[in-house]
Structure 1
Amino acid sequence: MSGVLRRLSAGGIVGLAILVFWVAMALFGSVVAPHEAGAIVDMEVFLPVSAQFPFGTDYLGRDMFSRVLHGTRYTVGVALIAALIASGSGLLLGMCAAVWGGWVDGIISRTLDTLISIPSKMFALVVVAAFGSSVPVLILMAGVIYTPGAYRIARSLAVTVNAQDFVTVARARGEGTLYLVREEILPNILGPVLADFGLRFVYIVLLLAGMSFLGLGVQPPNADWGSLVRENMAGLHEGAPAVLMPAFAIASLTIGVNLAIDVLSGGRRSGEAG
């Protein structure tokens, strides 16, 4: 780990710092926020940035800094859980398909190919229309949408490793499927899978932000960053920070995750090579 840290570039340090900051805010943002999420703190709306209000105020005179911090748990938390579901399910199914092959591979692959053929936003709109936009529904919806992509990556990697000589030798000496998956295949695909997990997380953040911007994501009185942009659109013509700051938060999170992906996947590959 220390070797990886010494090899970090400036971009990698920035990316990891941004990622750690937003994860910490997802956990403790409601504690460190100076005001309650719904508290009206000033009679003036769309106030500019100031020492008292670092992100200005929104269309009701609420502190946007507090609103963004409270919203982090929905933007980051929901996306993180959904990405874990998608990548975990894709990894498990991909390794099963690669190791067992045959009809198991065919059934799993054809089923997920059918799902991936449906446009993600259309699928999301249908699910929300049918079941509402509660947080559990949003998590499961996003997790299902991005499972096929994670499966394709995991299966492709696992098939390549499964064909290697060291796996053939392990199988010839009588090792079971669980051993092959745990000791031979998973360690050799974990780096790319972690990188893909980061991408799934970014995709889900953007999907959920888009749904919230349309009014179909996290519902009031709760709010994520996408809904914060939508509800303050009236201040766009005057450049109110209430519109810009949630958008900047989304941009900073996606940039930070992408920089962290490059560092973590690169660092793992270097460690394995050594």
Structure 2
Amino acid sequence: MSAGAMRNAAAFVTGLPWAGRIGGGLVAFWLIVAVAGPWVAPHAVGAFVDSETFSPMSGRFWLGSDYLGRDVLSRLLSAARYTVFLGLGAALVACTIGTTLALTAALWSGWVDEVIARAMDTMNSIPSKILALVLVAAAGSSLPLLLVICAVTYVPGNFRIARALAMNLVGLDFVTVARARGESRRYIALHEVLPNMIHPLLADMGLRFVFIVLLLSGLSFLGLGVQPPYADLGSLVRENISGLTEGAPAIFAPALAIASLTVGANLLIDATKQEKA
């Protein structure tokens, strides 16, 4: 990273309120865990390392053991990778598709806008969890399919935000001047309209990420999300649900991980909105 980029990053962080810094720290922590977690895990993810089940926290097992005697910390470090990267990937795909459709609808208008808008309204009328459940039941729940399903589920929400932004921009003078110069619609979309939508769209992508993490966790808790031998944070909660009456760390640790990730992302998004305002 260049010195200028580092200064800009430092200025951005110092300009955030304390809530934003806490949120940014939580998000950065889980990103680091998602990248490095499997390499620093003290035990193999599927290894049976404890003769007891639902052991309490100790010097040997920092987060106790699960319902099969596996190390919870090792499994959590591995599961965070699927939750974070599936959520980020699906949010990026959803926002890319939604924004592309929004720019197409805003610049072509007429019947193109009407067809796209009505199709998105139809999808948006179906509750996201029900839509995801139907798609999972129809297509299965492999990792690539889960990414696509979660992305498709949240395309309509991003489309509505992006279309409203694009519609406001296409009527401004600089777009009119670009049209008078004879620029193509594609050029206007990519060079005139999209750059002025970036900051709101980044905030919206952060919100989509939070929604998708919660959706993935809910699907996994129902047994329809990430399937063995893989596991995400929602899967860890589901498989250790029998330890709830014992107050086992095996169920509370992944639940707190989901909460800290989503709360941190929300704090960072709110702080970023205030900073831009």
TM-score for both structures, normalised by structure 2: 0.93
Q: Is the 8 A contact 2:16 2:272 kept in 1?
A: no
The residue number in structure 1 matching 2:47 is 39
The residue number in structure 2 matching 1:172 is 180
Q: Could you report, residue by residue, the CA deviation over 1:106-131 in whole angstroms, capped at 9, with x for unpaired residues?
A: 11111111112222222222222222
CA distance in 2, matches of 1:91, 1:29: 33
Task: Establish whether residue 249 from structure 1 lines up as the match of residue 257 from structure 2.
Answer: yes
Structure 1 residue ranges (4+ consecutive) displaced by more than 3 angstroms after TM superposition: 263-267
1:187 shift after superposition: 1.7
The residue number in structure 2 matching 1:15 is 23
CA distance in 2, matches of 1:160, 1:14: 34
The residue number in structure 1 matching 2:149 is 141
* Letter in structure 2 aligned against 1:157: L
* Letter in structure 2 aligned against 1:97: A
The residue number in structure 1 matching 2:234 is 226
Q: Could you report, residue by residue, the CA deviation over 1:224-259 in whole angstroms, capped at 9, with x for unpaired residues?
A: 111100111111012111110000000000011112
The residue number in structure 1 matching 2:3 is none
CA distance in 2, matches of 1:183, 1:5: 28
Q: Could you report, residue by residue, the CA deviation over 1:61-97 in whole angstroms, capped at 9, with x for unpaired residues?
A: 1111111110011111111111111011001111111
Q: How does 1:160-199 map to 2 (within 5 A)?
A: 160-199=168-207
CA distance in 2, matches of 1:255, 1:211: 19
Q: Could you report, residue by residue, the CA deviation over 1:178-213 in whole angstroms, capped at 9, with x for unpaired residues?
A: 332223211211111111101111111111101110
5+ residue gaps, structure 1: none
The residue number in structure 1 matching 2:111 is 103
* Letter in structure 1 aligned against 2:21: I
1:163 shift after superposition: 1.3
Q: Is the 8 A contact 1:56 1:64 kept in 2?
A: yes
1:6 shift after superposition: 2.5
CA distance in 1, matches of 2:12, 2:92: 24
Q: How does 1:50-65 map to 2 (within 5 A)?
A: 50-65=58-73
1:176 shift after superposition: 2.3
CA distance in 1, matches of 2:147, 2:33: 19
CA distance in 1, matches of 2:234, 2:12: 35
Task: Establish whether residue 81 from structure 1 lines up as the match of residue 82 from structure 2.
Answer: no
Q: Could you report, residue by residue, the CA deviation over 1:132-154 in whole angstroms, capped at 9, with x for unpaired residues?
A: 21111111111111001100100
5+ residue gaps, structure 2: 1-7
* Letter in structure 2 aligned against 1:174: G
SS at structure 2 position matched to 1:57: coil
Number of positions where the alignment pairs a residue of Structure 1 with one of Structure 2: 269
* Letter in structure 2 aligned against 1:106: E
More displaced 10-residue stretch of structure 1: 169-178 or 183-192 = 169-178
Percent same amino acid among aligned pairs? Answer: 55
1:12 shift after superposition: 1.4
* Letter in structure 1 aligned against 2:135: V
CA distance in 1, matches of 2:20, 2:130: 35
The residue number in structure 2 matching 1:126 is 134
Task: Give me the CA root mean square deviation.
Answer: 1.4
CA distance in 1, matches of 2:186, 2:178: 12
The residue number in structure 1 matching 2:120 is 112
The residue number in structure 1 matching 2:162 is 154
The residue number in structure 1 matching 2:267 is 259
